[in-house]
Every structure is written in C-alpha cells, then in structure tokens.
Structure 1
Amino acid sequence: MDAVDHAILDVLRADSRTSMREVAERVGVSRSSAYDRVRRLVEGGVIRGFTIDVDPAALGLGLSAYVHVRIKQNSWKSFRARAWDLPEAAHVALVAGDFDCVLLLRARDSDHLREVVLERVQALPEVLGTQTVLVFEEHTGHS
C-alpha cells in the first residue's frame, strides 16, 4: 500500500458512497486507476465492506453501555455466537485484561439495559461475571 491507497481509504472512510470520479479527483489519479486500486484493496481484504453509520438514538436506542464479561475457559466461540444473537449487541470483542470479552450494547433505556444484562447476558452458560460501564457521550470517526 502506498500513499494513494491510504488517501483512498481516508476518502471512503469519511463517506463510502463517494463516487469513483470524486475519489479519483480527491487523490489525484485517473478514475480507472481509482477503480483498480479499490478493487485491489477489496480483493486483498483491506476493505472488508462498505457500510453506513446509523445513529442509535434515532432508532430509539439512546442508552449505550460496554459490558465487560468473564467467561469460562475455551468458551469464546460459543459465547461470541450467543452474544451476536442479542439484537442489542453492536460490538463483540475478545480482549486481554481483567475481563475476557467486551460487548457494546444499545438499549432503549435503563430498564431495557438491565433486562439485557441481568436476564440475558448473565444467563448465558459461558458467563462467569459481568461489569457494566455506561456511555455518556460517544464519537465515531465520522462525528
């Protein structure tokens, strides 16, 4: 990857709907070169997909929390599958430290979050314990 590839990634990270003509103009290459470079980045696995950034609050999910989870040894794969089955799960990660996993959950309100954590996450057979951290303010690379 060279500086042009990095510049293309910056443009597409900011708005994945940017036309190839505009991408090419902004990074100083021809449109066919921009197409070829993006195709190569996709085929090489650098670009894993094109997505949208949705405001959870606009969907009625105004409360976010990181839930740190301790799980039984060798249960990551089954825990990951069960965690992704939760409609409220926005991110699931295996981490190092005092906890084994971190979930980013989106909920309507504190009652909904309580129900998800206490009645569904803690009920998973792999879970040994949790700690919930509320998110007061959140910023993505786009905000």
Structure 2
Amino acid sequence: MSDKNDLQAVDRAILRAVQQDCRLSNAQLAEKVGLSASACWRRVRMLEEAGVISGYAAQVNPDLAGLEFHAIVHVRLTRHDRDAVRRVMTELTVRPEIVECYATTGQYDYHLRVLCADMTAYRHFLDDFLFRLPAIESAQTNVVMESIKPRGVIPV
C-alpha cells in the first residue's frame, strides 16, 4: 500500500466502520464489511502496518470530564529560525491542555485547540506557559461557545 489510491472499497468500508465504532469485534466488523473474519483481520492488520489506521481511542466528553473551557488560540511567532520553531513545537506538543495543534500558512503560525477546567485555568496556561515561550509574539483567543461537530470522521 504505497499511497491512498491503493485503498480498495473494502478498506474504505473498514475505515468508515472502525471510525464509527472502534469497539467492534473482528467478527462484527467482518460481517459489516462483507468479509470472512480471517480476511477482515488481515485487512485491518495491513491498514495498521501501513499507518492508515494509526490508533484507537475513546471519545471523551470534555464538559463531563471537567474541562468546560474550550478555546481556539491563534499564535504568532516573533521569529522563525529553526531552533525557535523547534522549541515552540516541542513545548506545544507536551502540554495536556493543547489537544490539537496545527502549523499553518497565513496570519498566524499555529492554531491550538485548548481545553481547561475554567477561565482561571486558561489564564494560568497563558501566563505560566504560553507567554513564557521566548518566540511567542502574540496569541488571539476565540472562546468556543458551542461544539457543533466536535469530532469529524475522516471521509474515506
């Protein structure tokens, strides 16, 4: 499997099914996609080994887990030399409050999805972490008022 075009219809069916419910047994998945259990197991293993399936996870409701403050933070750097960028990327990836991080083109260098318990915790995140990184020029916060589509399924 050298690229995404190598995926067959049955692979796509498997990917759709496991995205909807990764707790399906192999037998249930096989029945759902029209394969024998052994053929299904082989296809899933192939997708895992190729990195198409990169992991399995539970969906957690942040509000019910005590993380009621949800923001999208747009970050601009003061400089873009290799060492500064590497340090910022390293620091951003280890903070548990940052659940998603994207390096992008455009006005901002990074877009972060941040979850915290409340506004006080978010203020500490900014003051004690983000604004202490030397390469950070600015951060604009957009508070999420409502999650319309919190977890999208990859359209395979």
Return the TM-score normalized by structure 2. Answer: 0.85
Further displaced range: 119-128 or 32-41 = 119-128
Aligned length: 142
Distance 2:85 2:64 in 1: 32
Return the TM-score normalized by structure 1. Answer: 0.92
- 4+ residue runs over 3 A deviation: none
Q: Does 1:62 align with 2:68?
A: yes
Gaps of 5+ in 2: 1-6
1:90 match: secondary structure:
strand
Query: 1:76 Cα deviation (Å)?
Result: 2.7
Further displaced range: 67-76 or 95-104 = 67-76
Distance 1:31 1:76 in 2: 47
Identical aligned residues as a percent: 33
Q: Does 1:141 align with 2:148?
A: no
**Structure 2 counterpart of 1:121, which letter?**
L
The 8 Å contact of residues 64 and 106 in structure 1, kept in 2 or not, is answered as yes
- What per-residue deviation string (whole Å, max 9, x for no partner) do you get for residues 5-25 of structure 1? 001001100111111101100
- What per-residue deviation string (whole Å, max 9, x for no partner) do you get for residues 20-65 of structure 1? 1011001111111110100000111111111111111122111110
Gaps of 5+ in 1: none
Q: Does 1:125 align with 2:131?
A: no
Query: 1:119 Cα deviation (Å)?
Result: 3.5
Q: Corresponding residue for 1:83?
A: 92
Distance 1:8 1:63 in 2: 35
RMSD: 1.4
